[in-house]
Amino acid sequence: MRVITLEQLPSVLGHLPKNPRVIASGNFATPRALLATFDSSVPEYRLHMLNAHGPLPDRDGVTYETAFVGPGMRHHRSLRYLPSRLSLLPVLVRDHVRPDVVLINTSRRHYDTVSLGIEVNVLPMAIETARAHGGLVIAQCNSNMPYTYGDAQIYENEIDFIVEVDEPLATHVPEGLDETCQGIGDRIAAQISDGSTLQLGIGGVPDAVLGALVKRKGLRIWTEMFSDGVLNLHKVGALDEDIPLTASFIFGSSELYEWLNLNRRVRMMRTEIANDPAAIARQALMTSVNGALQVDLFDQANASRLKGRIYSGFGGAPDFTSGALHARGGQSFVALPSWHPKANVSTIVPVLTEPVTTLQHSAVATENGIAEVFGRTQGEQASNIIEQAAHPDARAELRERAREFGLL
């Protein structure tokens, strides 16, 4: 490991192959100063990031690559989408999309380690793969990055070069909950008992669910990501104090990042552990809540494509949907508003015309109710989805199409 400056960085990049693949910290952990200097030094490269948020280098010679499309890459002309469940992405990194360079945003040094902080995900596999195949690992050591434990801890001898540059981390400020999200959240929360293990993403419905669980006791967290809603559960004493909180990446407020720093209650794990369906299935009363853009009468959900174009990706939803259903007492909810106000259409459709992201859930949850589907016949599934989840204005047409399919 060698400490260099940004001005010295170009001198260590001279032996890269043509059009190298770069895997960089994604989500809210992008090492922006490091990436900007790299971009000015390398004429052509492939940039691989998960859920990338802008601004990103955007010019001829830069190709975007990802298995989960964030707003920084969405609909970009150079985007190359790599279909993969999140639990399998480390396998692809190891065997198919090996990095020539890994750019990470880390904490400042703590003894002989740094920490990946709020973004672990596939980075440990990327680091190991780069080192095994002669690639470079370059860290931007940033005093604003919290020091977290678990697989986030990286020894200095796993890093080739360290650049000490401080820059603020992006934060997420949740919007106020609308009546629809609050209704969905309340309905799902009513199905969650004390001692349950939770996986919830970010957004209005997860925020509403977490907000409605403040009077529960002994809740546990095993999730790919969490935000301030989990911190709020900690504040009110709703979490099991004896069980660590397991996640793979985090984003939220500055207060959340401060709470994470040197907090041994939080265990940041690499994707192949956090998203392993078998590990998920071992969690007590595992309860998974994932959103969708559409759900059909066969309990198939589209959460990744919009108007024929990739919008996000599989992410971890298939991993947690499957893992939760295998857990004893587990539940898997797919949640969405029953009506799309801008498009003025039902989000419950007869049959998906887009590729399926997840299927076989415990229940479909909308502001209208909870439609139980697992363990029901296909006719019972369709009937429950129509009568308990679909918008009233869409039910007549959905009943007609269900009869055409032989479901009713």
The domain that holds 312 is classified in CATH as: 3.40.1080.20
Cα distance between residue 178 and residue 145, in whole Å: 32
Residues 370 and 253 placed together within one structural domain of the fold: yes
Cα distance between residue 102 and residue 159, in whole Å: 9
Report in angstroms the alpha-carbon separations of 100 from 32, 67, 131, 134, 318.
19, 18, 9, 7, 29
Residues 131 and 234 placed together within one structural domain of the fold: no
Q: What is the largest CA-CA distance in the chain?
A: 69
**DSSP category for residue 17:** P
pLDDT in tens, 2-42: 999 999 999 999 899 999 999 999 999 999 999 999 999 99
Look at residues 115, 141, 164 and tell me which one is the last residue of a structural domain: 164
Report if residue 173 sits inside a domain.
no
Cα distance between residue 227 and residue 280, in whole Å: 19
Across 114-118, 145-149, 199-203, least confident range: 199-203
Nearest 10 degrees: Cα torsion 207, 298, 367, 195? -40
Report if residue 395 sits inside a domain.
yes
Residues 106 and 26 placed together within one structural domain of the fold: yes
Residues 206 and 241 placed together within one structural domain of the fold: yes
Look at residues 117, 139, 164 and tell me which one is the last residue of a structural domain: 164
pLDDT in tens, 74-103: 999 999 999 999 999 999 999 999 999 999
What positions carry a catalytic annotation? 224
Residues 123 and 208 placed together within one structural domain of the fold: no
Residue 336's contacts (CB-CB under 8 Å, 6 or more residues apart) are 184, 205, 291, 292, 293, 294, 295, 347, 364, 365, 366
Residues 138 and 265 placed together within one structural domain of the fold: no
Q: Answer yes or no: are the C-beta atoms of 156 and 113 closer than 8 Å.
A: yes
pLDDT at 395: 98
Q: Which DSSP string corresponds to 339-407?
A: EETTTTEESEESS-SSPPSEE--SEEEETTEEEE-TTS-HHHHHHHIIIIIS-GGGHHHHHHHHHHTT-
Residues 88 and 230 placed together within one structural domain of the fold: no
For residue 66, what are the domain limits?
Answer: 2-164
User: What's the domain count of the chain?
Assistant: 2
pLDDT at 202: 78
Residues 119 and 188 placed together within one structural domain of the fold: no
In this predicted model, which residue has the larger pLDDT, 177 or 7? 7
Residues 266 and 352 placed together within one structural domain of the fold: yes
The mean pLDDT of the chain is: 96
Does position 285 have pLDDT exceeding 80, yes or no? yes
Does position 201 have pLDDT exceeding 80, yes or no? no
Does position 258 have pLDDT exceeding 80, yes or no? yes
The total number of residues shown for the chain amounts to 408
Report if residue 171 sits inside a domain.
no
Does position 73 have pLDDT exceeding 80, yes or no? yes
Q: Count CB neighbours of 295 within 10 A.
A: 31
Residues 387 and 285 placed together within one structural domain of the fold: yes
